[in-house]
Structure 1
Amino acid sequence: MLPQGIQRPMQVQPALGTMVANLLREMITNGQFEPGEHLKEAAIAEAMSVSRGPVREAFTQLEAEGYVELRRHRGAYVAALTRVDVEEVHTLRGAIERLAAERACTRMGAAEFAEMDEVLERMKAVDTTIDPDSAVVLDLAFHDIVYASCDHARVQRVWESIRGQVRLFLRARNINFPDFSEVGYPEHRELRDALAEADPELARAAVDKHILGAYERLKRLDLP
């Protein structure tokens, strides 16, 4: 029971601009908007039944997160993948995933490995018809378990802040190199087996090897 005179706080809904940003972010990472596509403020406001103000707020938020580029007198455009983006997200992901893996490998129990093995079985069952987005869902589901198991709230928050951009990069990798049915299962199985050894040094090395493959493929693309 609350002390006398203190009222229960009202449940606060996210600001409208944040709600619009969340929806647009999801649409961008799902490929519903393509890199370089013009995001028309009026059309989005009408489609979402909001005024233009929240849409402009959403554009500003998404620009700060790297999803949108605001061009003077021209409006908002979906940010295109660049070599700098690839290098920065790869190095940041590597730093936090090494830490996550070295902590997770000594904390994961039977339940966590069972969850991971379920994802691996789904990877093993895919064939060449798997679409790029479904492959990304499986890929991220595996890595989400590592981060959830690392028992480090700040690492998890950093992962959540870049997860959408990692999703974009993995999607680009899968579109341009449609070999997930061949490499998805064995590459993730190797990382899983390294984590099972409960050796932080081995886990760090396995992460380096694992994420380098996607990075090297993206570097081969003709990016600005």
Structure 2
Amino acid sequence: MEEPTVAGPLDQLARQAERSPALWATVVPALRQMIVSGALAPGAHLPEGELAAALEMSRGPIREALIELEREGLVVLRRHRGAQVIALTDEDIEEIYTLRLSLEQLAITRALPRLTDEHLATMDDVLEQMRALGPDYEPQTALDLDFAFHDVLYQAAAHSRLDRAWQQIRSQVAMLLHSRHVARRDFHEIAYAEHKAIRDIITSGDTTAATEAINHHLTGAYHRLITARH
């Protein structure tokens, strides 16, 4: 099987560097977005030298960026073999989703008594954007709206360690969801109804029903992702 190449994405990164001399300050977000979107394919090698040349910078900031992306679970660093974009297996995905489910069950339990009118207004705005989506939606738009809704729960939970745990797997979840939206374009058909159900239960203040709704939502998302992969 032909090994994934980074030549095209590196050319794109170099053009961005020409337009934005300060891109060195955002190399982590730039590489993260390329991995999440699939521009840098799973299994692609990320040679420090080529990245440094494309961005016209030393290898130091590139190495630091790759270490950060390894912490986020997007890159694997192997001695003498360099960096490589993670290729997630079905077992990896099951671990990510079961962990996310546990985190979100805690988040919604803590969030219910702490949700403010501002939190609810943010949710309602996201819901309206979900409802307005058509079949031609961009995968990144679906991802952004999905995260915007769930981020409210983490913010309202007011639990710093919970938030850090979510941030550690957030990029991997983003990578999975983006690939799922590319493979199967049905977010506009299911997103509004499922998230609206969670919003309605939150209003009722029923913690048990809220955790059940999160379980139903994320379990369904997991099965749709696995189906889209096979």
Please state if 1:56 is matched with 2:63.
yes
The 5-angstrom pairing of residues 55-204 of structure 1 reads 55-71=62-78, 73-204=80-211
Amino acid at match of 1:69: V
Residues of 2 paired with 1:49 and 1:116: CA distance? 42
Residues of 2 paired with 1:67 and 1:194: CA distance? 34
Using the size of structure 1 for normalisation, the TM-score is 0.84
Aligned to 1:41: 48
TM-superposed deviation, 1:71: 4.9
Q: Deviations over 1:92-117 (max 9, x none)?
A: 11111001001112221222111100
Residues of 1 paired with 2:142 and 2:221: CA distance? 13
Alpha-carbon distance change, 120 to 221 in structure 1, aligned in 2, over 3 angstroms = closer
Alpha-carbon distance change, 22 to 133 in structure 1, aligned in 2, over 3 angstroms = closer
Secondary structure of 1:69's aligned partner = strand
Contact 2:37 2:179 in 1 (8 A): no
Amino acid at match of 1:159: W
Residues of 2 paired with 1:181 and 1:222: CA distance? 19
TM-superposed deviation, 1:176: 1.7
Q: Deviations over 1:65-119 (max 9, x none)?
A: 3211335654322112211221111011111100100111222122211110000
Percent of residue pairs bearing the same amino acid type: 44
Contact 2:123 2:149 in 1 (8 A): yes
Ranges of 4+ aligned residues in structure 1 off by more than 6 Å: none
Secondary structure of 2:113's aligned partner = coil
RMSD, aligned CA: 2.1
TM-superposed deviation, 1:121: 0.2
Aligned to 2:213: 206
TM-superposed deviation, 1:203: 1.1
Contact 2:43 2:86 in 1 (8 A): yes
TM-superposed deviation, 1:190: 0.8
Residues of 2 paired with 1:156 and 1:52: CA distance? 31
**Structure 1, gaps ≥5 residues long:** 1-16
Using the size of structure 2 for normalisation, the TM-score is 0.82
Corresponding residue pairs, total: 207
Q: Which has more helix, going by share of residues? A: 2
Residues of 1 paired with 2:71 and 2:155: CA distance? 26
Amino acid at match of 1:100: A
Residues of 1 paired with 2:94 and 2:155: CA distance? 25
Amino acid at match of 1:97: E
